[in-house]
Amino acid sequence: MKVVGKEKVMKVGMMEQIKREIAVMKMVKHPHIVELDEVMASKSKIYFAMELVRGGELFNRIAKGRLREDAARMYFQQLISAIDFCHSRGVYHRDLKPENLLLDEDGNLKVTDFGLSAFSEHLRHDGLLHTTCGTPAYVAPEVIGKKGYDGAKADLWSCGVILFVLLAGYLPFQDDNLMAMYRKIYRGDFKCPPWFSSDARRLVTKLLDPNPSNRITIAKVMESSWFKKSVPKTVRTKQELEFEAFDKEDAAEGGGANGEKLKKQSETLNAFHIISLSEGFDLSPLFEEKKREEKEEMRFATTRPASSVISRLEEVAKAGKFSIKKSESKVKLQGQETGRKGKLGIAAEIFAVTPSFLVVEVKKDNGDTLEYNQFCSKELRPALKDILWTSPADNSTAA
């Protein structure tokens, strides 16, 4: 629980910062970001109920001495995964440091404290952020310079300082005099200790480049040899396990071992089902704000038989590197490559309005919503275009 006094917040003018922190934490749901469960308020207090993270701060681990390179790499991989996810949503943390990185009971990293974060909407006409914030030892030189900065590049500098601290056990830029420390940061004046491997030294140097236009990007960090070495084993999600069990379900319902045949036909929709499919009856916006481009499902009608819909989905799966499992009324696609939030999983279910008129519902089963929406707009919709039913007025029914 995080408890904030309303009067104190109002007195120091931090109400906008609190609102921003709530908005950001609702937006960034990721395995390596502390989740906000509930926000409550009384007359005098604001209460944040957050995911319980039992392992303490990463800072406490570093305080005992530098980490082994493989341990540092694991934490850094998880940090970059979380920050890449934030940046894909137009959110910049701006106060990354070991004290804001927590560990759960399994030793996995969780980013917290989005109080100083910024949205891409905060950019000025020059496309840059202009608020100086963060902790001095971890702040990028362009933030100190007060000439405007790119939030993504500034976060990457902080990630570079964190990586250095994990591997070295001390800060790259240190001085008792704050202005002297700022001068070192501005010049990128640091030295890697001799125990750094050549790959680690190369990556740290690229992250701590004082010129933001030359600084390495997240995409390049992920491609670097040091980062890719000993990629952690991914824990299979519930959805991935369900995907693997799909054939067994089919066999149990009367199909073959490979799920090729099912006695169960497409479910027939009655009037109440059809009404419930209407967006006008969707009450979720009352409880959760969601941008239109972040929809997790789409529906379309077709006069083609279910077999045509399934064969078209098979073509899409083959072209997009997806594994596919099917029955006569359901199709599941499982991405073979890991995205920002694991492998993309997509489920399609076919409903019969009449024997010759079907409604198909496609929804995200697992993975990142933005990646799902990009897949739908670039690959799925174009592939389904010619089997969609259109009204005589030539209006598509696709949601």
Question: What is the spatial distance between Cα 217 and Cα 207, in angstroms, rounded to a whole number?
Answer: 8
Question: What is the spatial distance between Cα 171 and Cα 161, in angstroms, rounded to a whole number?
Answer: 7
In angstroms, the Cα distances linking 138 to 15, 101, 112, 133, 165 are 25, 13, 16, 10, 10
- CB-based contact 156:216 (threshold 8 Å): yes
Question: What is the spatial distance between Cα 175 and Cα 181, in angstroms, rounded to a whole number?
Answer: 5
Measure CA of the first residue to CA of the last residue in the chain; give whole Å: 40
Residue for token pair 């109400």: 15
Catalytic residues: 95
| Residue 188 burial (CB count, 10 A) | 15
CA-only gyration radius of the chain, Å: 25
The backbone torsions φ and ψ at residue 3, rounded to the nearest 5 degrees and listed phi first, read: -115, 125
DSSP-assigned letters across all residues of 148-203: -B-HHHHHHHHHHHHHHHHHHSS-SS--SSHHHHHHHHHHT-----TTS-HHHHHH
∠ Cα 12 93 23 (to 5°): 65
Residue 134's region, left for phi above 0, alpha for psi from -120 to 50, else beta, is left
| Residue 353 burial (CB count, 10 A) | 15
What are the start-end ranges of the E strands in 170-229? none
Nearest CA-CA partner of 92 in 50, 53, 143, 52: 143
